[in-house]
Amino acid sequence: MTAYASFGAIFKQSSTTIGQIKSISYDGLTKRMLETTDLTSTNRAATFVSEVRDWGGVTLELHMDPDDTGQDILWTAYGANTAQSYNISYPDNTPEVHTFDAFVDRIEPAIRLGEVLSVTIHLKITGAITIS
């Protein structure tokens, strides 16, 4: 199995790079399932059909930097209440880009003794992720 380093991944809102990111993580992709079990289902097993996909969200952990234009854009996006275009560029050894629209739906600044200021920002994806 080949392993890939995460160093070098880039997160952008349109063409603006968001700075000081420590980690990028997806919540998990899910499908809404509709139960189709009836009184005569084989082996008394529950059955389902797939309805729609929920592409989840993305959580960013950042060193807080009030001078970073990209971080300012995320705060502005939270207040704007409209979906924006984002993309994640994976490092050079995995030249893959995920592009999606999302709402900034949660911002959690943290001030902890003995640590640099940090902020966790969550984006809720609307629509599908395009992988190129």
In the predicted model, what is the mean pLDDT of residues 27-51?
94
Name the β-bridge partners of 63.
Answer: 118
pLDDT reported for residue 92: 72
Q: What percent of the chain has pLDDT over 90?
A: 86
Convert the pLDDT of each residue in 53-89 to its tens digit.
Answer: 999 999 999 999 999 999 999 999 999 999 999 999 9
Name the region of 109 (left: φ>0; alpha: ψ -120 to 50; beta: rest). beta
Convert the pLDDT of each residue in 116-130 to its tens digit.
Answer: 999 999 999 999 999
Q: What is the pTM of this model?
A: 0.87
Dihedral sign (CA 6, 10, 124, 115): positive
Rounded to whole angstroms, how far apart are CA atoms 99 and 130?
A: 5
